[in-house]
Structure 1
Amino acid sequence: MTSSDASTSAGPRLLGPAEVRSLAAALGVRPTKQRGQNFVIDPNTVRRIVRTAELADDGETVLEVGPGLGSLTLALLAAGHRVTAVEIDHVLATALPDTIATYAPDQAAAFTVVEADAMTVTADQIGDPTACVANLPYNVAVPVLLHLLAVSPSLRHGLVMVQSEVADRLAAGPGSRTYGVPSAKAAWYAEVRRAGPVGRNVFWPAPNVDSGLVAFERREPPVTEASREEVFAVIEGAFSQRRKTLRSALARWMPDRAQLDEVFRITGIDPGLRGEMLGIAEFAALAGAAHSVSAT
């Protein structure tokens, strides 16, 4: 369906290449690399993203980060969902309500924009969304996703578009060459998987990297006496010297060698392994053992 076809059908009109460029020109906006802006110009792509997100048929409150000119926003509203959009760009944030009123007047009441940095946005600002569907700014995709999962426990699932290599790292499991800090930290919050590729020609401007969709489903973190921060410190220590064994890589994390050996003894984890072989449960076990050893 073309954008002109959409304008004659019921429901919101979606943005095609002409509409995106027209809106940008009217606002004096040019996508910037600094903020990782690449606007989606293909209606079929945003429809596919919404479909792949597997949102509830009766509608969800969806958190969108970096809505830009509103391409994905309109597709989410068209599918019957409420949208809370977090946009750092003042010009774009100010223009979004007018765009929604023009292209989706019947759904305008289901849309809220929050002008904020997604890296620091708070639970009070975004409310209680149940899903996150977003074309994340590629330069900060991982920290943004981890921050949202941390501050919004109501997020049950989601689908985000990121750089293809980042998608590989987020979805990687232990033993994979792409498994690392992002993979392990994301696994603390959720089960993460690749959900398909996205071509470069659906963006304006076309990025010089491939893109991919990543789906996540929230789950309970491993049971441990340690805090999330303590577990993440173990993960960072284990991957700080990727080619070294855990005994060597974790020496800075726990300088007392006797205590470190006791941690390995308690957990039964082989200190000769490398960090890339451990799952989130093992990292949590190490942190929990260190918590108890340090307390004695």
Structure 2
Amino acid sequence: MPEPSPIARLRPKKAFGQNFLVNEGAISSIVGSALGSSASRLLEIGPGPGVLTERLLADGRPLWAVDLDPEACDLLAHRFGSEPHFHLLQGDAVRLPLPEGEAWSVIGNLPYNAATPILARLLTEGIPWDRMVLMFQLEVAQKLMGVPGTKAYGPLSVLAQLCARLTRLVKLGPGSFRPAPKVDSAVVLFEPVQEPPSLAERQALLAVLHRSFAHRRKTLANNWQGTLPAAALLEAGLDPTLRAEVIAPSAWLKAIRILLIQYPEVFPSSCP
């Protein structure tokens, strides 16, 4: 009797947000795009049963796989533990320490319930990457690629677009996964821009964006009332009578560079 497939051998757990990819076209697209990077090592987040892992390892580059699920880690260790360039890290990708070194090509069918904090970490903690190929709920992917003046545009749009060039590689329906989720998904390619914001600027930017978008229908002046006066916003090039959702990423970056210098007390943890 043939051995069951890796997906059949791993019980998906709702608590971990697991939906295992079974669409062959999507698997090939993700792996091909990730391996198109010149990075010397690979980082896979949420490998689950190892459908992507198996093909990534065939490339020969060192691969670090991070998964929170002990059962998945046992299966991965059984399948790939004898591979000298396979390294397994069990833990939460939101906070688990990662090996230092050269840039990664990052690959992930991210768990739906942790995709946003994982991405925020990859963009704000100085983890070196040459390319990222990541799966999100379609709604999250649309937010990442949102443009000013639209409902999708928000803090995640600004941060991601200032750090990377984003390309949606493929859209997937629920039938591409086991078990089938209730939403569509999308794979997004991240390629670093030439002059991204510094880490201090990114961290301060997130703080400013979350405050500015706290009440989307309110103006910047109203959202910042009691912390930054309208004059400070004007000095940073932000019209206090506007809503955050109409301001372009480049204007946010220009503003944060002024605010970090003029009002460092607002960002004590982000100051150089």
The bucket for the TM-score relative to the shorter chain is 0.7 to 0.9
Distance 1:185 1:85 in 2: 26
Moved over 4 A (4+): none
**2:15 corresponds to 1:34:** yes
Cross-structure match for 1:281: 250
- Structure 2, unaligned stretches of length 5 or more? 266-272
Residues 236, 256 of structure 2: 8 Å contact kept = no
Residues 233, 239 of structure 2: 8 Å contact kept = no
**2:231 corresponds to 1:261:** yes
TM-score, scaled to structure 2? 0.85
2:6 equivalent among 20, 32, 48 = 20
**Helix, strand or coil: the match of 2:213?**
helix
- Structure 1, unaligned stretches of length 5 or more? 5-14, 25-29
**Helix, strand or coil: the match of 1:139?**
coil
Task: Please give the residue correspondences for 1:199-278 in structure 2 after superposition, counting only pairs within 5 Å.
Answer: 199-219=173-193, 220-222=195-197, 227-254=201-228, 257=229, 260-264=230-234, 266-278=235-247
Q: CA RMSD in A?
A: 2.7
Structure 2 vs 1, CA of residues 167 and 229 (structure 1 numbering), >3 Å: closer, same or farther? same
**Helix, strand or coil: the match of 1:185?**
helix
**2:122 corresponds to 1:136:** no
Structure 2 vs 1, CA of residues 262 and 61 (structure 1 numbering), >3 Å: closer, same or farther? same
| Displacement of 1:230 | 2.1
Task: In structure 2, give the amino acid aligned to 1:48.
Answer: S
**2:84 corresponds to 1:69:** no
TM-score, scaled to structure 1? 0.79
Task: In structure 1, give the amino acid aligned to 2:231.
Answer: D
Structure 2 vs 1, CA of residues 286 and 180 (structure 1 numbering), >3 Å: closer, same or farther? same
Cross-structure match for 2:129: 155
Count of aligned pairs: 263
Distance 2:127 2:7 in 1: 37
* Deviations 1:117-139 (CA, angstroms, capped at 9, x unpaired): 10102233x65442111100011
| Displacement of 1:62 | 1.4
**Helix, strand or coil: the match of 1:269?**
coil
Residues 53, 159 of structure 1: 8 Å contact kept = yes
Distance 1:295 1:75 in 2: 47
Residues 169, 187 of structure 2: 8 Å contact kept = yes
Residues 65, 135 of structure 1: 8 Å contact kept = yes
| Displacement of 1:142 | 1.1
Distance 1:179 1:295 in 2: 27
| Displacement of 1:76 | 1.4
Task: In structure 1, give the amino acid aligned to 2:259.
Answer: A
2:32 equivalent among 40, 51, 54 = 51
Task: In structure 1, give the amino acid aligned to 2:72.
Answer: L
* Higher normalized contact order (CA 8 Å, seq sep 6+, divided by chain length): 2
Structure 2 vs 1, CA of residues 253 and 135 (structure 1 numbering), >3 Å: closer, same or farther? farther
